[in-house]
Structure 1
Amino acid sequence: MTTLEIALWSCMAGGMLTVCMAALVDAISSRSSGAFMGLSYLIALTLYAVLLCGLLPLALPGLPPTLLRTLQVALGPLCCTMALVFTGRWLNARDDDRWICPLMHSAIAISLLATLGLGVAAIWLPADRQSELLLVSAATCFATVILTGLCSWRAYRLGDRLALGVLPTAVALSVSIIGLYSEAAQPGLLAPAAIGLTALCTVAYVLMVAALSIIRTRESKRLERLAGLHLGTDPATGLPTGSALVAKVDDSFWRSARAGMACNVVCMHLHNLYELADVAGHGVENQIALTMSARIRRAVGFRCVVGLYHARCFIAVIPVSRESSQTQIQAFVQRLRVLISKPVPITGHQRTQHSFQPDWGIAVVSATAHDHDSAAVLRQAERMAMQDGATAPAPLSEAATVTA
């Protein structure tokens, strides 16, 4: 093996090891069984690539020839088995498709049998039959690539958009199999250009597999987080909404009444929440709502109840020692407008950048907690905030009068 060939194969090994380290960091951070399964596959594949290209025998010349031959022909089908298990889990074949699941199970069983059969054959057959065994091992790998591609295409047709990303990996792996098995069967046969292409495709394959694994793991984590949200919590902002918000407001009023305090119910109505929908794309309102909720929370403090009355209406309940005067309310509203009305940078579809200028209607209803119904206060604050420039309190309808 020439110096150039060693350098090219070493670059391949270094790239694969770098991807494995990145996958290890992601697996440790996500603590997902799928991430660790993907990591184990990447490690096994890296070991096999280093073995086939000749770097491992070069680094460890003392390896027994029988062990080396056995690993060269049997480790490939074993990686195929791991790839099938990982792909089946990645595609969620157990739950989504009755056609993919039995096909995957059959292929896994055949691949395991091929691993055992090739391992035994490499031990008992003479060394001059090694090329034939490598050919069988390569055929097993190619069959796995074709099967994985078909299952991924079917999953894509059924609605799994990410499954389409498996097809480029199949192309890269096919080139890698041809190059690596050719090098293992006849060392020195490949030209430097062919070695470079093989190394590039191998690193690209490992990189794509790691990226797909990380993307799917993060999607699963996001779904787990959303599924674990309590009922009555807005999934975009995490703020309480609906009956959960009303219960929190009631509780805040009750605690304030016991302490002899009043409550300032602040309603912030975002008039133009959907203004950028036609320009930036539908869904950008989630970015806006998330930014607005963070600004409101920072403005009113972490001890106050903050919630989402409906999509464009944020509520904050601030306990105060006594009912606020009109001057105090106007000063608070002015300060609040400054804090929450700055432009918001928004990333739209196709990564386009937009600037969103919030248009707020803000109302504050200050009431004595033991004399007023929290639901009536909420409705009054909402009606006031929906009016442009509503900044001053008004008497509650019939039931109570709010001191300005």
Structure 2
Amino acid sequence: MSPVEVVIWSMATGAIGTVVLLGLAEVAFGRTVAGLQGTAYHALALLFVFLLSGLPREIWPGLDERWLRVMQVMIGPICNTLGNYWVRGWLGAHYRDSLMEAGLRWAGWVSPFAGLACLLLPWPQQLPAAGAICLLNAALLFWLTTRGFLLGDRMAAGMVVGSGFALPAILGLYGVALRLWELPIGVQVLIALCAVLCTCCVSVMVWLRAHPHVLSRPDPESSLRHDPVTKLYSGIALVQKMIKAQRRRRRTRRDGAIVAVIVFDLDRIAEQLGPNGLNELFIAVGNRIQRQVGVVNPVGRYWDRCFVSLVETIPSPSWLRTLGLRVSSNLRRPIEVSGPNGTRVSVRPDIGVGVVHLLPGHTAVEDILHDAQRLAEAARGMRSRAATLDLATGEVVAVEEANLGPRRRGQANHVPHSTPARGAAV
């Protein structure tokens, strides 16, 4: 390597190393699993750039070429595995799309074994084969993150940009490692810049996903979009998101779900805890719902004691049962809030969960929300505290007893009702 090349790649690894250090600081203060996974991926990306750039030969001139080649061949597939696993969780693929889930999972599993298979090839073919595996995986990530954006995840746009930078960075780094031709200094600068920009884009999107309210612009209409207590979406914002989601689902022909949670007996809780304790309870309930449905699915406070979540894409109708039971069991666990005298008080919320199956039809959003609230009201009298509509009989039943098989085309998607929903903030 020439002195200029050493400077270029030292600066690139230094920039990526700075991102890793910032990630470690975020993990130390935030202590989130997603942050730890993202930082681990960035550390592997740093090692990837370091090994393929040729810097190890400059730092350790006597380095065994056989061991260096093994590390160069395996680092890419290992990055694929960890990156796919992490991006799968970041995109909420399990909640949103079975194709994203299967693609990222299987590509992650296959990559390390494909890397080991590369080591069985003749020496000149090992590194090109590993490079082809990494390029295919990067193309898959670009496609699936684009798919996530088209399915309504706005933050996936940043990951699409990061994946776009990854493609030339990977191609260029393997070209540098193979040294089949002399790359001009300007080209190497562009390759290094793409590698750094890819890492920065991914890091920024990790941070934004962990701090979603950063994107909320402080303007006069902010109070209309977010509930002042829970900081979740307001009823108006929730309806707007549902309308947009309905349009997307009519285009993609995908099933979804609406989950409504109603908290009962608020007068008793307010008398016991006071207004501050009641607000803490609302905040805790909203946070628990968000954790259960995933960060990619919006949760809002539709009216004072009713929370609604939009799960835009579900893997299958039978998943509604798992979703309803998971939300209801989590919300019925005790919540610690502040009492009137400042002491911590444990409260077990009295809740009902209604789950509505969204089909790619033209059902009005107001009717869907009304149905979800009626189901949540009915769930209060059920053992599991979660209700849905039985697809065979059209009756309101507990989710664990519902027949969630394929529905007949044109079957109504409404809960029988005769009175309007009360308190709806539409």
**SS of residue paired to 1:161:** coil
The residue type paired with residue 33 of structure 2 is S
- 1:81/1:111 contact within 8 Å kept: yes
C-alpha distance in 1 between matches for 2:62 and 2:210:
40
TM-score in terms of structure 1 length: 0.53
Deviation at 1:136, TM superposition (A): 1.4
Picking from 180, 190, 193, the partner of 2:173 is 180
What amino acid is the match of 1:60?
Answer: W
Displacement of 1:218: 2.7
- What is the Cα deviation at residue 101 of structure 1? 1.3
Structure 1 residues 158 and 61: alpha-carbon distance in aligned structure 2, compared to 1, 3 A threshold: same
- Which amino acid is the alignment partner of residue 64 of structure 2? P
1:198 aligns with 2:198: no
1:98 and 1:17, CA in 2 relative to 1: closer, same or farther beyond 3 A?
same
2:360 matched to which residue of 1? none
Structure 2: which 5+ residue stretches go unaligned?
Answer: 216-227, 233-265, 277-299, 301-339, 343-426
Q: 1:151 to 1:250 in 2, by over 3 A?
A: closer
Is the alpha carbon distance of 1:62 and 1:158 closer, same or farther for their aligned partners in structure 2, counting shifts above 3 Å? same
Does residue 1:166 correspond to 2:176, yes or no? no
Q: Distance in 2 between matches of 1:186 and 1:249?
A: 71
- Check whether the contact 1:182–1:189 (CA below 8 A) recurs between aligned residues: no
Q: Is the 8 A contact 2:119 2:126 kept in 1?
A: no
Deviation at 1:79, TM superposition (A): 0.8
The change in CA–CA distance for 1:220 and 1:112 in structure 2 (over 3 A counts) is farther
Give the greater-gyration-radius structure (CA). 1
Residues 25-69 of structure 1: CA distance to partner in whole angstroms, max 9, x if unpaired?
A: 111111111111111111111111111111122112232111111
CA contact (8 A) 2:158 2:202 kept: no
Q: Which residue in 2 is equivalent to 1:300?
A: none
Aligned residues: 235
Partner of 1:40: 40
C-alpha distance in 2 between matches for 1:75 and 1:249: 57
Distance 2:3 2:179 in 1: 18
For residues 250 and 99 of structure 1, the distance between their equivalents in structure 2, rounded to whole angstroms, comes to 45
User: Structure 1 pair 105/236, CA: closer, same or farther in 2 (3 Å)?
Assistant: closer
Mapping for residues 283-302 of structure 1, pairs under 5 Å? none
TM-score normalised according to structure 2 size: 0.51
Is the contact made by 1:37 and 1:86 (CA closer than 8 Å) also made in structure 2? yes
Q: Does 1:80 align with 2:75?
A: no
Correspondence 1:335-354 to 2 at 5 A: none
CA–CA distance in structure 1, aligned partners of residues 213 and 52 of structure 2: 35
CA displacement, residues 368-391 of structure 1 (integer Å, 9 cap, x when unaligned): xxxxxxxxxxxxxxxxxxxxxxxx
Distance 1:249 1:38, change over 3 A: closer
Question: What are the ranges of 5 or more consecutive residues in structure 1 without an aligned counterpart?
Answer: 223-232, 252-282, 284-302, 306-404
Percent of paired sites with the same residue: 26
* Shift in alpha-carbon separation, 1:24–1:247, aligned structure 2, 3 A: same
What is the CA–CA distance in structure 2 between the aligned matches of 1:51 and 1:249, rounded to whole Å?
Answer: 60
User: Any runs of at least 4 consecutive aligned residues in structure 1 with deviations exceeding 6 A, and if so which?
Assistant: none
* Pair 1:154 & 2:182 matched: no
TM-superposed CA distance for 1:20, in Å, is 0.7
RMSD over aligned Cα, in angstroms?
Answer: 3.0
Q: Would you say 1:140 and 2:133 are equivalent positions?
A: yes
Cα distance change, pair 248–181 in 1 and its aligned pair in 2 (3 A):
closer
Which residue in the other structure is 1:213 paired with?
A: 206
Q: In 2, Cα distance between the equivalents of 1:234 and 1:100?
A: 35
Residue 55 in 1 paired to residue 55 in 2?
yes
How does 1:191-270 map onto structure 2 within 5 Å? 191-219=184-212, 234-236=229-231, 243=267, 244-248=269-273
Deviation at 1:201, TM superposition (A): 1.0
Contact 1:51 1:57 in 2 (8 A): no
Distance 1:41 1:208 in 2: 13
Classify the secondary structure of the residue corresponding to 2:85.
helix
Deviations 1:162-194 (A, max 9, x none): 111111112211111122111101177111101
How many angstroms apart in 2 are the aligned matches of 1:32 and 1:220?
Answer: 17
